[in-house]
Amino acid sequence: MTKPISKYRDLSLAPVPGGTVVVAADSCASTGRKPGDTLSCDPYHCGRVSARVVLFELMCIGAQVLIVADGVCSEMKPTGAEIIRGFQDELTLAGLSPDCLTGSTEENFPTSMTGVGTAAVGYLSEPFVPPQCHPGDVVVCVGTPLVGLAFLDNTDAAIATYAHLKTLLDASDVRELVPVGSRGIAWETEIVAGLHHLHPRFDPACSLDLHQSGGPSTCVLAIMRPACFRRLSKQLPLQKVADLNAMY
């Protein structure tokens, strides 16, 4: 009997012989040079940020990235070619081959807005077991929440990187990694705490905007033991967001 597909956060997980297939998806629209676009920028950036979101989703769960698919809602030339170039460059930055990219462009109808739908397929070489977080763990953030022009205009901002993810994934006492989405750090913290039947007590000393959209995964939450936070703070730009307490 086929085992059912399950959901964990924004991911879909399908058990297969020998492991688990993991699928992440994202959309990006109105970001380019077309007349209907809200954010005017090179469509290349649309490709970069679209790839980044799904790559962070898969990597944060520890999945090996197999395939990335771009559904470009624009013509191949000139818009689609620039979006695809952005995807390829982001894959290279993540240490992956651009050959894992597939996709399509819109050649039947003219479009007045730039857009792309993205899906990424990853693989876990074992059945998925949800992470376990405990009272006394801390929620910390690597990176700064940025979106739109704030992201494009702050190329030197301390955003989360693939190197940061590798360091966090290699630490055995990091319980879970959560890319911050459009609803912000506070919302993601509440959700991950609830998944583990815990309650967050937010740190008043945290200087991050807890309600700002994380845009293209510019920051990532990590749940870890306090001793791990003290150790990794010497290597990474971490900020404590909250303590996790038992629900009463």
Note the pLDDT tens digit of each residue in 188-231: 999 999 999 999 999 999 999 999 999 999 999 999 999 999 99
Q: Between the CA of residue 213 and those of 21, 57, 115, 185, 222, what are the distances in Å?
A: 28, 16, 19, 8, 17
Which range, 111-120, 125-134, 142-151, 155-164, has the best average confidence (pLDDT)? Answer: 111-120
Share of the chain above pLDDT 90, in %: 91
Confidence (pLDDT) at 248: 67
The two structure tokens encoding residue 210: 């807890």
Asked if pLDDT for residue 144 goes beyond 50, the answer is: yes
What average pLDDT is seen over the chain?
Answer: 94
Q: How far apart are CA 172 and CA 180, in angstroms?
A: 21
| Alpha helix ranges (H) inside the chain | 43-60, 81-93, 149-152, 162-170, 184-195, 226-232
- CB neighbour burial string for 168-194, b if at least 16 within 10 angstroms, e if fewer: beebeebbbbbbbbeebbbbbbeebbe
Q: How far apart are CA 75 and CA 31, in angstroms?
A: 15
- Provide the pairing of β-strand 174-179 with 219-224: antiparallel
The two structure tokens encoding residue 71: 């559904």
Q: How far apart are CA 209 and CA 211, in angstroms?
A: 6
Confidence (pLDDT) at 138: 97
